[in-house]
């Protein structure tokens, strides 16, 4: 009997088919990707394959690392650590597992280095840190397995690129390394496998668990549609409808999209349903780690009735008592919606229950779209990062810090990864040049001569540079956060510097579910005391402006068409009927073959609203691109606003849109070229460059506990950006910033698809005299972009004239 059979028999359990399949595949020496949802024993599916290999092959006297288990989340790591050690104990197997995350102390790390353990559970960042330690080859000389958990989470960001690089390097130590990824379902699984295992790998397999859970989707509808505002984003109007749902559930997670929204909901729920006190908690990424841990523990034991949270609880260990999920506002994507729904119903025989709460009336349509998308399993793809030279440069310095690298060998390694397979030898030489001499622009500055060539190996010889580099390993560049503490010393969490800088001592604000008064700010710590004043401001955090996914926007257009063509109406569409009728009356309700444009004149100026329903990122790009095309004819200045359904171009002059349409304003030709030209003058690439400069080690983000203020970071990365643009326009980091804007900010492929679609649609222009149900939310949005190609002189002149009139 093998280990798995013994253990499952001991427990009286029966393995799933996918578990047996995985064990067999591992036994055959394959690498692969396991596609399984959480809570069905996906870890065991891999784990018994690993320890069976150990039992069959390993010589017990060699006590070296046999398996690396990479998990993006600390909470999950801990769970896996406990579960796998329990297996070893149950089977009396000499296989010990250690845990190393960012929380592991220096002392424990040194101990781990000396200790003999067979497996290590760690994060992508800690894995790179290990590669930055001298003698790492010895440590990994017996490594047989690397397991990447939650690959779907890592794939869509630069942590995925970090994994690709580390894997390629580990394979150079052991060419027979077996790599297994574990992933939830998404649109491009086959590609995900290829990225994880390398484009030229054979003997690989995707194993699908086929144990999907059923999801009950309900939209929380107002009695009358007028009960919900046209332009809201908080969703509080529907709070009364939620009270019975919460009361009838064992335990509920209420998800909001932004931390400020979570704070507001927590406050309002306590105020309006006072007997929730003591049974309700708040959980978001700015709340102190210890408090979050407390909340999670109490969710496990079932002593919390309701937790208001953000994406901070999207992932992680399952809470068995939770049987209801409430999603306030758009979930923005089908995958995310399913993921959140899946946080409920983990007790045997239970289903996932999710309630969608629209925050404005038009958003009700998303309930209809989500049901349709989930039914047809229209799940988003994850777009992988490629050619992230910032991560590559960081990795090169990492290897130079430890034992040095041979340039030809390393070039071969990186060429075997999906992310860097297209890197040319010239580009590779540029990277070498950059880490040794600071490249063309920075050669005058010693601090960028980080790496030197010694006996054919590139090495970092300066201790200071090495220490600084180790501290900055990683690809997550956060906004600078300040600790919030009571005067007595109790830690409350962290808050963005940006918010605090707008407050004065004595001001009241609401944070971590409490009313606080700002006492003073010292370095990066905010000292506060409790306040009874009810009118605190709620911190607004940056971010939280996730765009609607392409799958969800397609489904929304589909729902609109169903209504328009008189198809069978679900409860959401029935509820929307009065709103749609009004829209039809004052403007027009577009069908799938139509694009609606509304022209409205108000005291603010001349508004043009366009409704492609393509998500806010595509709209932002499209709006800038159209501004550019319009500005080619005559100088113009636009204030741009958008949401997930449409966008607005606001100008001080009347734009003859009809004539522009005749001149092919929406032409699908040259979309890429025009997009690049239109952003040339904008700040987007510069914003992207901030992260790139930090990852590539151009700006030092600071020693732990003494983080630089982000404002300074911004200033200096901006200067680098300018220097590179002026002196070195083939700088790969600069080009990367533009590529990232094109692919991730403008979502160019989605944009091209949108222009193509629009070109086949009939364009309908209406001239409403008042704001319509469609345009209202866009019109009142506070965040605006800006486009101008008018000479500054004429803008000043016009503005001054307006002042004189007043």
Partner 1 sequence: MQLELAGIPFILLTEKALWRPGTSQLIIADIHLGKASHFRKAGISIPADSVLEDMRKLHALMKKYRPAEVILLGDLFHSSYNREWHLFEAFLESFNDIQFILVKGNHDILKKNRYEIPNFEVMDTWEDDLFIYSHEPMEHDSKFVLSGHIHPGVTLTGKGKQRLSLACFHISKNQMVLPAFGKLTGLYILEKNKSDTYYLIYNDTITEMK
List residues near partner 1 by CB under 8 A: 441-442, 445, 447-448, 468, 604-606, 637-639, 650-653, 698-700, 702, 708, 712-713, 715-716, 719-720, 722-723, 784, 786, 792-793, 795-800, 802-804
Closest to partner 1 by CB, 316 or 605: 605
DSSP state, residue 120: E
What's the rounded Cα separation, in Å, for the pair 781 and 469? Answer: 42
Closest to partner 1 by CB, 606 or 738: 606
The token pair at 661 is 């349409």
The token pair at 277 is 């006190």
Strand, helix or coil at 538? coil
Largest CA distance in the chain: 91
Task: Burial-class residue 301 by CB neighbours within 10 Å (0-12, 13-18, 19+).
Answer: exposed
Closest to partner 1 by CB, 756 or 784: 784
The token pair at 75 is 């909470």
- In the complex, the smallest distance separating the C-beta of residue 651 from partner 1, rounded to whole angstroms, is 5
Q: Cα 354 to the chain's mean position, in Å?
A: 22
Closest to partner 1 by CB, 375 or 712: 712
Task: Burial-class residue 523 by CB neighbours within 10 Å (0-12, 13-18, 19+).
Answer: exposed
- In the complex, the smallest distance separating the C-beta of residue 784 from partner 1, rounded to whole angstroms, is 6
- In the complex, the smallest distance separating the C-beta of residue 767 from partner 1, rounded to whole angstroms, is 18
Q: In what order do the strands lie in the sheet with 525-530?
A: 491-496, 481-486, 525-530, 514-522, 508-511
Task: Burial-class residue 564 by CB neighbours within 10 Å (0-12, 13-18, 19+).
Answer: middle
The token pair at 544 is 């939280």
Q: How far is CA 377 from CA 148, 185, 622, in A?
A: 25, 10, 28
Strand, helix or coil at 225? helix
Closest to partner 1 by CB, 638 or 755: 638
What's the rounded Cα separation, in Å, for the pair 625 and 679? Answer: 8
What's the rounded Cα separation, in Å, for the pair 527 and 336? Answer: 36
Closest to partner 1 by CB, 227 or 653: 653
- In the complex, the smallest distance separating the C-beta of residue 152 from partner 1, rounded to whole angstroms, is 36
- In the complex, the smallest distance separating the C-beta of residue 442 from partner 1, rounded to whole angstroms, is 7
Closest to partner 1 by CB, 502 or 798: 798
- In the complex, the smallest distance separating the C-beta of residue 259 from partner 1, rounded to whole angstroms, is 27
The token pair at 692 is 């790139």
Closest C-alpha to 787, from 642, 662, 669 = 642
- In the complex, the smallest distance separating the C-beta of residue 445 from partner 1, rounded to whole angstroms, is 7
**What residues contact 708, with CB distance under 8 A and at least 6 apart?**
480, 699, 700, 701, 702
The token pair at 409 is 């060998």
The token pair at 569 is 């109406």
Closest to partner 1 by CB, 289 or 786: 786
Closest to partner 1 by CB, 180 or 720: 720
The token pair at 160 is 């995925």
- In the complex, the smallest distance separating the C-beta of residue 684 from partner 1, rounded to whole angstroms, is 19
- In the complex, the smallest distance separating the C-beta of residue 542 from partner 1, rounded to whole angstroms, is 20
- In the complex, the smallest distance separating the C-beta of residue 800 from partner 1, rounded to whole angstroms, is 6
What's the rounded Cα separation, in Å, for the pair 203 and 196? Answer: 14
What's the rounded Cα separation, in Å, for the pair 760 and 753? Answer: 11
Closest to partner 1 by CB, 1 or 792: 792
Closest C-alpha to 100, from 117, 80, 77, 134 = 77
- In the complex, the smallest distance separating the C-beta of residue 716 from partner 1, rounded to whole angstroms, is 4
Closest to partner 1 by CB, 406 or 797: 797
- In the complex, the smallest distance separating the C-beta of residue 780 from partner 1, rounded to whole angstroms, is 12
Closest to partner 1 by CB, 585 or 798: 798
Alpha-carbon dihedral angle through residues 145, 146, 152, 156, given to the nearest 10 degrees: -140
């Amino acid at each position: 009997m093998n280990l798995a059979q013994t253990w499952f028999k001991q427990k009286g359990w029966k393995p799933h088919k996918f578990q047996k399949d995985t064990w067999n595949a591992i036994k055959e020496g394959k690498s692969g990707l396991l596609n399984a949802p959480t809570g069905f024993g996906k870890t065991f599916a891999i784990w018994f394959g690993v320890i069976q290999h150990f039992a069959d092959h390993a010589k017990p006297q060699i006590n070296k690392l046999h398996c690396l288990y990479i998990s993006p989340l600390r909470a999950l790591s801990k769970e896996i650590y406990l579960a796998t050690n329990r297996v070893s104990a149950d089977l009396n197997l000499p296989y010990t597992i250690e845990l190393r995350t960012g929380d592991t102390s220096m002392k424990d790390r040194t101990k781990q280095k000396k200790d003999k353990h067979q497996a290590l559970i760690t994060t992508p960042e800690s894995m790179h840190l290990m590669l930055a330690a001298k003698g790492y080859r010895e440590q990994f000389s017996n490594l047989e397995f690397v397991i990447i958990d939650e690959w779907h989470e890592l794939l869509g960001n630069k942590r995925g690129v970090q994994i690709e690089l580390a894997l390629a390097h580990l394979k150079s130590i052991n060419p027979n390394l077996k790599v297994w990824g574990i992933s939830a379902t998404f649109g491009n699984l086959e590609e995900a496998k290829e990225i994880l295992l390398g484009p030229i790998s054979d003997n690989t397999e995707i194993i699908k668990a086929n144990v999907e859970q059923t999801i009950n989707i309900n939209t929380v509808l107002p009695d009358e549609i007028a009960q919900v505002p046209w332009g809201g984003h908080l969703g509080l109007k529907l709070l009364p409808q939620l009270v019975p749902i919460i009361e009838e559930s064992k335990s509920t997670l209420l998800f909001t999209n932004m931390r400020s929204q979570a704070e507001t909901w927590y406050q309002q729920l306590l105020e309006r349903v006072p007997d929730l006190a003591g049974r309700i908690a708040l959980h978001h990424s700015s709340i102190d780690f210890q408090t979050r841990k407390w909340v999670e523990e109490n969710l496990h034991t079932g002593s919390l009735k309701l937790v208001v949270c953000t994406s901070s609880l999207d992932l992680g260990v399952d809470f068995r008592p939770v049987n209801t999920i409430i999603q306030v506002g758009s979930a923005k994507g089908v995958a995310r919606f399913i993921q959140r729904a899946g946080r409920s119903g983990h007790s045997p025989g239970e289903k996932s229950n999710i309630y969608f709460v629209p925050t404005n009336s038009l958003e009700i349509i998303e309930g209809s779209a989500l049901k349709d998308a989930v039914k047809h399993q229209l799940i988003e793809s994850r777009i992988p990062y490629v050619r992230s030279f910032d991560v590559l440069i960081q990795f090169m310095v990492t290897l130079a810090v430890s034992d040095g690298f041979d340039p030809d060998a390393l070039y071969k390694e990186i060429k075997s990864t999906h992310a860097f397979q297209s890197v040319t030898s010239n580009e590779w030489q540029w990277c070498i040049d950059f880490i040794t001499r600071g490249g063309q622009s920075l050669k005058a500055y010693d601090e960028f001569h980080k790496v030197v060539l010694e006996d054919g190996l590139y090495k970092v010889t300066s201790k200071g540079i090495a220490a600084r580099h180790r501290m900055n390993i990683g690809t997550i560049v956060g906004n600078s956060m300040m600790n919030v503490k009571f005067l007595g010393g109790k830690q409350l969490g962290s808050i963005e510097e940006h918010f605090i800088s707008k407050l004065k001592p004595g001001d009241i604000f609401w944070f971590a579910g409490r009313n606080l008064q700002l006492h003073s700010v010292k370095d990066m710590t905010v000292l506060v005391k409790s306040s009874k004043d009810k009118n605190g401001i709620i911190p607004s955090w940056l971010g939280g402006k996730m765009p609607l996914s392409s799958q969800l926007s397609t489904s929304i257009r589909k729902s609109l068409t169903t209504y328009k063509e008189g198809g069978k109406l679900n409860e959401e569409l029935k509820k929307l009927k009065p709103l749609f009728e009004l829209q039809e009356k004052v403007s027009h309700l577009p069908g799938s073959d139509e694009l609606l444009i509304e022209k409205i004149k108000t005291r603010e100026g001349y508004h043009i609203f366009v409704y492609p329903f393509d998500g806010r990122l595509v709209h932002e790009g499209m709006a800038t691109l159209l501004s550019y095309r319009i500005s080619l004819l005559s100088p113009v200045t636009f204030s741009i606003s958008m949401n997930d359904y449409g966008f607005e171009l606001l100008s001080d002059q009347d734009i003859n849109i009809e004539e522009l349409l005749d001149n092919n304003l929406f032409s699908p030709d040259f979309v890429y070229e025009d997009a690049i030209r239109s952003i040339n003058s904008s700040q987007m690439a510069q914003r992207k460059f901030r992260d790139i400069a930090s990852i590539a080690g151009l700006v030092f983000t600071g020693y732990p506990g003494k983080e630089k203020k982000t404002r300074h970071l911004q200033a200096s990365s901006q200067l680098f950006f300018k220097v590179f643009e002026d002196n070195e326009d083939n700088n790969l980091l600069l080009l990367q910033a533009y590529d990232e804007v094109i692919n991730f900010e403008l979502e160019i492929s989605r944009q091209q698809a949108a222009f193509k679609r629009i070109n086949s649609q009939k364009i309908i222009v209406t001239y409403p005299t008042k704001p319509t149900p469609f345009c209202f939310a866009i019109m009142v949005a506070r965040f605006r972009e800006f486009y101008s190609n008018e000479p500054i002189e004429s803008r000043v002149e016009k503005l001054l004239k307006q002042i004189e009139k007043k």
